[in-house]
Chains A and B, each alone.
Chain A
Amino acid sequence: MTAATTMSALLAHMPFIEPFPLAHRYWWLLIVPVAIGVSMAWKAVRLKTLEEYWRHVVSMSVQVVLGVAGIAVGLYVLIIVVLPRLPAE
């Protein structure tokens, strides 16, 4: 998708009516709002006091994003590096 095509798709986009056009390419970035939303709801339930609420939310969000990124790296190494080196029977 060229820059001109991307720009025309964004300009023609009707928010909340049709799907976001860039989500086809950058779908993996959606882990960020997932991590933030889940962390906000979960910490609001689990914490006894809300004094350090946002620090816990940021901490859990970073942990979720890093955890998912670690799983992605691990699966990449397993599928691209390890499995092709195994002897085929």
Chain B
Amino acid sequence: MIGVLILVVTGVFVGGLDAVDRDEDRLWFIGQAVAGPLVIGVSFANDAIVKSGRAGELLDAPSRTPGPRVETKPAKVSTLKGLAHPNEFGSLLVFLGGLMNLVVILDALVRVPPEPQFGPGFGRRADDLGKKGAA
């Protein structure tokens, strides 16, 4: 669990809250969410803090198509949005945390329980078992 937490916390530290984005990076988020409710909370924090403009500043997003902007209400983008390497590695680290958590979940599902340490003859001498019927 600590290994998964190291990956998730390092990912959010490197990429910021924008490393987990269930709207713009949905495919990444599907893998990241396997790490647990912590990641889902980060995604909601991304909406509440970064995308809402409570931290940083919201700027007009550049138009995706060349030529004059056609939409009436320009999209906004936060100045705290992750770009390039920090965003890539932040997303990747949190995704790896989800992947390793999936490994742990699968292991818990298929792991054969260990042999019981105390068998039926524990605490008795070997010849006591033979005398059980006679007693």
User: Does the CB pair A41–B89 fall under 8 Å?
Assistant: no
Tell yes or no: B21 within 8 A of A by CB: no
Interface residues of B, count at CB 8 A: 36
Give the chain B neighbours of A41 by CB distance below 8 A: 3-4, 7, 100-101, 103-104
Bound state CA distance, A39 and B100, in angstroms? 10
B126 within 8 A of A: no
0/1 interface trace, chain B 1-30, chain A, CB 8 Å (1 if under): 011101100101111111100000000000
Residue of B nearest to A33 (CB): B10
Nearest CB in chain A to that of B80: its residue: A18
Closest A-chain residue to B19, C-beta based?
A19
Q: How many interface contacts (CB-CB < 8 Å) are there between A and B?
A: 93
A15 within 8 A of B: yes
Contact B16 A37 (CB under 8 A): no
> Is the beta-carbon distance between B96 and A44 smaller than 8 angstroms?
no
**Is A85's CB within 8 Å of the partner chain B?**
no
> Within the complex, which residue of B12, B18, B82, B85 is in contact with A27, where a contact is CB–CB below 8 Å?
B85
The digit string for A30-67, where 1 denotes a CB below 8 A from any CB of B, is 10011011111110110000000000000000000000
List the interface of chain B (C-beta within 8 A of A): 2-4, 6-7, 10, 12-19, 49-50, 55-56, 80, 82-87, 89-90, 92-93, 96-97, 100-101, 103-104, 107
